[in-house]
Amino acid sequence: MSEEENISHISGNASDDIKRMLARPGALFTRFPPNIRGPIFGQSIQDRLVTTEISVQKKEEEPKKLEGRIVLELTVEDDMVNGGGAVHGGCSAFLIDLCSSLALMVLNLTNSGEILPSVSQSLNIVYHSPANLGDRIRIVNTTMTLGARAHSARTEIWNVTHHRLVSSGVHIKMQPSHPKANL
């Protein structure tokens, strides 16, 4: 598949460069350090994510600010469910962590042309209703703030099959601290 075909299905006003970079989240997050040889946590789920929209728009509440938005879709499969056949809460947390980080990347790339490293500080989640094996889910992510040290984004996971909210979350990230030298 050519690069143009790879992004032709992605709507939104983000640049083609940003769309190319974030079109395949599984490829973006699987750059291993040399000491990691096998699959990483959630890799098969990341590899199935389909990016459908990437946008940057003026923030409605504060028009002098921009917000990044990325929407992804995925079908619920065996590696995502609990014993009851519904998306496991840990899987929802994983998707919120991963996909909200992508929204922050959209805005960082738009503002500075680069991806800034960040680590999770907190993740607050509300579980609303189940998504079951075979259901299609849509993960809608929007930035809230992109400060000098703290960054935040909100995520809603929607069950497209049954038209209901599955879970929602707010993710706060920060730039990592530099390790202190041992003297």
Q: Is 103 exposed, middle or buried (0-12, 13-18, 19+ CB in 10 A)?
A: buried
* CB crowding 48-77: b at 16 or more within 10 Å, else e: bbebbbbbbeeeeeeeeebbbbbbbbbebe
Question: What domains appear along the chain, each with residue ranges and CATH number?
Answer: 3-30+39-174 (3.10.129.10)
CA distance linking residue 144 with residue 125, whole number of Å? 16
Cβ proximity of 173 and 121 under 8 Å: yes
Per-residue pLDDT of the chain (183 residues; tens, 9 = 90+): 444 557 999 999 999 999 999 998 887 766 556 666 667 889 999 999 999 999 999 988 888 999 999 999 999 999 999 999 999 999 999 999 999 999 999 999 999 888 888 899 999 999 999 999 999 999 999 999 988 888 999 999 999 999 999 999 999 999 888 777 776
pTM for the structure as a whole: 0.90
